[in-house]
Amino acid sequence: MATDRIDTLLDEQRSFAPPAAFARGAHVRDRAPYERAAHDREGYWADWARQLQWVRPWDRVLEWKPPHAKWFVGGKLNASVNCLDRHVAAGRGDKTAIVWEGEPGEVRRITYSELHADVSRFANVLKGLGVARGDRVAVYMPMVPEVVVAMLACARIGAPHTVVFGGFSAESLRDRINDAQAKVLVTADGGYRRGTVVTLKQHADDAVRDCPSIRHVVVLRRTGQPVPMQPGRDVWWHERTSAAAPQCEPEVMDAEDPLFILYTSGTTGKPKGILHTTGGYLTHVFATTKWVFDLTENDVFWCTADVGWVTGHSYIVYGPLALGVTQVMYEGAPDHPAKDRFWGICARHGVTVFYTAPTAIRAFMKWGVEHPARHDLSQLRLLGTVGEPINPEAWMWYHQHIGKERCPIVDTWWQTETGGIMITPLPGVVTTKPGSATVPFPGIEAKLLDGEGGEVATGGGYLAITSPWPGMLRTIWGDDERYRQQYWTKWPGVYFPGDGAKRDDNGYFWILGRVDDVLNVAGHRIGTMEVESALVDHPAVAEAAVVGKAHDLKGQAIAAFVTLKEGHTTTDALREELKGHVAKKIGALARPDDVLFAADLPKTRSGKIMRRLLKDIAEGRALGDTTTLADPGVVSRLKDQYEERES
């Protein structure tokens, strides 16, 4: 039906072929893998799985009973063995696995052998606390190497971990622990964030008071601040690990045994416990880490995500460690002690491949080019982004000021639910276009469909994944019905990720944002990303969020919330100029009725703009659920500002 199609307005014509020098040395230099995967998808994924170490090979690659998939049926393996033991056994034990920088400035280097011993010790500690195969362990920690140790120790003994981002409140932690029925919680006395100490243990204590499933709390000493320890329940990490043996026999896990549960709330609703299993997930993240980031022996990879998000699970812990690369891990904020912290880290540790989020890139744009300009970024050879659509101007800024027009950019589309990267350029072969995640990874089948399931060849529609993939979620923990309802009811046997997208004449995918956020102006359905990108195209604008506001004639009118780059001031003239800029760039239809200048936009703790709340403000309603906001003050200030203007 034409009415549920999404109109496309933005016409981005710039394109960038892989630089010749890069393409020459890349893992993938031609289109053969795309053809191989299209011809024999299961055989192709089995080739990847064979690059892992299995205790027993699988009998069947895929069993697909929609909406449930099993990959590598009958295969046995252990994820921690794949991330540690096999590198040590191959004589690579002295290779640095993690170069860690604490926010206060200390640096630790941990080799694969050391990580192996630490993981084994902590696995023994967990066993000593009564954790057995199948038990859940909650992890609520700062970005320190021990969080990786805790996760891999769980994997070693077959206890699924559920990591809760350290910025979440006691209530959020409590709800997740109770949903997962975790037996042990691993936390720390505190962590450093923007120069202050985060009181993790206090939040943990508040949460665990209402968590009857928790038997023990393991506490890492990170900051040294005094914390109460409840006798019989709480134990110190250092005391237990120093008494533990550095060897621990790994559990032999089935390919389909759970590896972890990770809660995602997206921008709405009760958090869903996304369940990932072992063999398929590991295969997917191994394959994508290797080809998308093009990693080889001498690379230094840095994924700036927190391990509390899926990006940290897949591209800090399981992907890079399964591949055996050296990576950087950083504890703190990008602007502490100054706005050049990330670039100092890149230069100090010789980062070659850098992976971050559009929200971070827009902050860098806002802060100004002088910060990266102060550092030697010549080691960088590849850049990546994930988490939101990247506005073409933010892409160009990244390309010019970080990549120095030398580094390809991989814009990677995926989700907590997909486990690994789904739509992305392979940097040695795919020509990139600013704002497009380009094409599906080999072995992934994506289409653009309309509401009836008809394929949209060019133009806007709904993104759909039309066949199962190894890293896919297996269910929602404890709620298989919600799993079916949420992802599999739009079209039979097809996965609906909830995003709108468009395809151009080359078949490239351009993600337009969550379909819940799509605007409907005078019968035209417009993705938020296109209007926001037109705003960000203006030299004064750092970041923009647009929402549809009820309108008598048009159905919806566009309200835009805009933050400016440093050095620009908010004036009525600029407001009018911005409206005109959007009209000129993508059409009069998309001209915002309203532009509000904001110091900050409301975001989730993982940096996604929460348009739902902006809509509440624009329509003069009471604010909806604000519990997943990083800074609830941002919306209340905006609401006051908006109401003042209206009155």
Residues near ligand PRX (CB under 6 A) are 264, 310-311, 386-389, 411-416, 437, 497-499, 511, 514, 606
Smaller CB distance to ligand PRX: residue 337 or 498?
498
To ligand PRX, the closest distance from the beta carbon of 60 in angstroms equals 29
Block residue for tokens 């940096």: 607
To ligand PRX, the closest distance from the beta carbon of 288 in angstroms equals 11
Extract the runs of DSSP E, i.e. beta strands, from 386-522. 409-411, 446-449, 459-465, 475-476, 499-503, 509-514, 519-521
To ligand PRX, the closest distance from the beta carbon of 267 in angstroms equals 9
To ligand PRX, the closest distance from the beta carbon of 154 in angstroms equals 21
To ligand PRX, the closest distance from the beta carbon of 19 in angstroms equals 21
On whether the CB atoms of residues 186 and 207 are closer than 8 A, the answer is no
Smaller CB distance to ligand PRX: residue 147 or 511?
511
Smaller CB distance to ligand PRX: residue 206 or 625?
625
Helix (H) or strand (E) holding 384: strand 382-385
Give me the residues paired with residue 594 across strands: 559
Distance CA 61, CA 55 (A): 16
Smaller CB distance to ligand PRX: residue 343 or 487?
487
To ligand PRX, the closest distance from the beta carbon of 9 in angstroms equals 17
Residue 516 carries which DSSP code? G
Longest dimension (CA), the chain: 72
Rg of the chain over CA atoms, in angstroms?
A: 24
Smaller CB distance to ligand PRX: residue 311 or 359?
311
Helix and strand numbers (H, E) in the chain are: 22, 30
To ligand PRX, the closest distance from the beta carbon of 305 in angstroms equals 8
Q: For residue 142, what are its two tokens?
A: 């700062």
To ligand PRX, the closest distance from the beta carbon of 511 in angstroms equals 4
Smaller CB distance to ligand PRX: residue 189 or 499?
499
Distance CA 262, CA 86 (A): 26
To ligand PRX, the closest distance from the beta carbon of 568 in angstroms equals 27
To ligand PRX, the closest distance from the beta carbon of 66 in angstroms equals 21
Cβ neighbours, 10 Å, residue 514 = 22
User: If you write DSSP's letter for every residue of 599-643 in order, what string do you get?
Assistant: SS--BBTTS-B-HHHHHHHHTTPPP---TTBS-HHHHHHHHHHHH
How do strand 253-254 and strand 541-551 relate by DSSP bridges?
Answer: unpaired
Cβ neighbours, 10 Å, residue 17 = 11
Smaller CB distance to ligand PRX: residue 82 or 416?
416
As a whole number of Å, the end-to-end CA separation of the chain is 41
Per-state percent for the chain, helix, strand, coil, to nearest 5: 35, 25, 40
Smaller CB distance to ligand PRX: residue 69 or 305?
305
Q: Cα 104 to chain center, whole Å?
A: 25
To ligand PRX, the closest distance from the beta carbon of 283 in angstroms equals 18
Smaller CB distance to ligand PRX: residue 80 or 385?
385
Distance CA 420, CA 311 (A): 8
Block residue for tokens 């010019």: 400
How many residues make up the chain in this entry? 647
To ligand PRX, the closest distance from the beta carbon of 180 in angstroms equals 18
To ligand PRX, the closest distance from the beta carbon of 322 in angstroms equals 18
User: If you write DSSP's letter for every residue of 123-158 in order, what string do you get?
Assistant: HHHHHHTT--TT--EEEE--SSHHHHHHHHHHHHHT
CA 343 → CA 99, 303, 441, distances in Å? 15, 13, 29
Give the dihedral of Cα atoms 525, 528, 533, 535; nearest 10 deg. 100
366-383 burial, b at 16+ Cβ within 10 Å, e below that, comes to bbeeebbeeeebeebbbb
Smaller CB distance to ligand PRX: residue 120 or 606?
606
Distance CA 68, CA 439 (A): 25
To ligand PRX, the closest distance from the beta carbon of 295 in angstroms equals 18
User: Which among 69, 493, 473 is positioned nearest to 264, based on CA atoms?
Assistant: 473
To ligand PRX, the closest distance from the beta carbon of 124 in angstroms equals 33
**Residues with Cβ < 8 Å from 584, sequence gap 6 or more?**
none
How do strand 76-77 and strand 253-254 relate by DSSP bridges?
Answer: antiparallel
To ligand PRX, the closest distance from the beta carbon of 517 in angstroms equals 9
User: If you write DSSP's letter for every residue of 84-98 in order, what string do you get?
Assistant: IIHHIIIIITTSEEE
User: If you write DSSP's letter for every residue of 172-229 in order, what string do you get?
Assistant: HHHHHHHHHT-SEEEEES-EEETTEEE-HHHHHHHHHTT-TT--EEEEE-SS------
Smaller CB distance to ligand PRX: residue 263 or 364?
263
Cis peptide before 66 (omega within 30 of 0): no
Residue 18 carries which DSSP code? P
